[in-house]
Chains A and B, each alone.
Chain A
Amino acid sequence: GAVVSQHPSRVICKSGTSVKIECRSLDFQATTMFWYRQFPKQSLMLMATSNEGSKATYEQGVEKDKFLINHASLTLSTLTVTSAHPEDSSFYICSAIPTQGFGGYTFGSGTRLTVV
Chain B
Amino acid sequence: GENVEQHPSTLSVQEGDSAVIKCTYSDSASNYFPWYKQELGKGPQLIIDIRSNVGEKKDQRIAVTLNKTAKHFSLHITETQPEDSAVYFCAASKAAGNKLTFGGGTRVLVKP
Q: B-contacting residues of A (Cβ < 8 Å)? A: 4, 6, 32, 34, 41-46, 49, 93, 95, 97, 102, 104-110, 112
Does B12 lie at the interface of the complex (its beta carbon under 8 Å from any beta carbon of A)? no
Q: Are A93 and B89 in contact, CB atoms less than 8 angstroms apart?
A: no
Give the interface segment out of B13-21, B65-73, B92-100.
Answer: B92-100
* 8 A Cβ contacts from B15-69 to A: 34, 36, 41-46, 49
Count chain B residues whose beta carbon lies closer than 8 angstroms to a beta carbon of A.
20
Contact with B102, one of A44, A49, A102 (Cβ below 8 angstroms): A44
- Chain A contact residues: helix, strand, loop or mixed: strand
Q: Are A93 and B44 in contact, CB atoms less than 8 angstroms apart?
A: yes
Q: Which residue of A lies closest to B9 (CB)?
A: A41
A112 to B42, CA, bound (A): 10
A-B contact pairs, 26 of them (CB 8 A): A4-B43, A34-B100, A41-B107, A42-B104, A43-B102, A43-B105, A44-B89, A46-B99, A46-B100, A46-B101, A49-B99, A93-B43, A97-B96, A97-B97, A102-B96, A104-B34, A104-B46, A105-B46, A105-B100, A107-B44, A109-B42, A109-B43, A110-B41, A110-B42, A110-B43, A112-B41
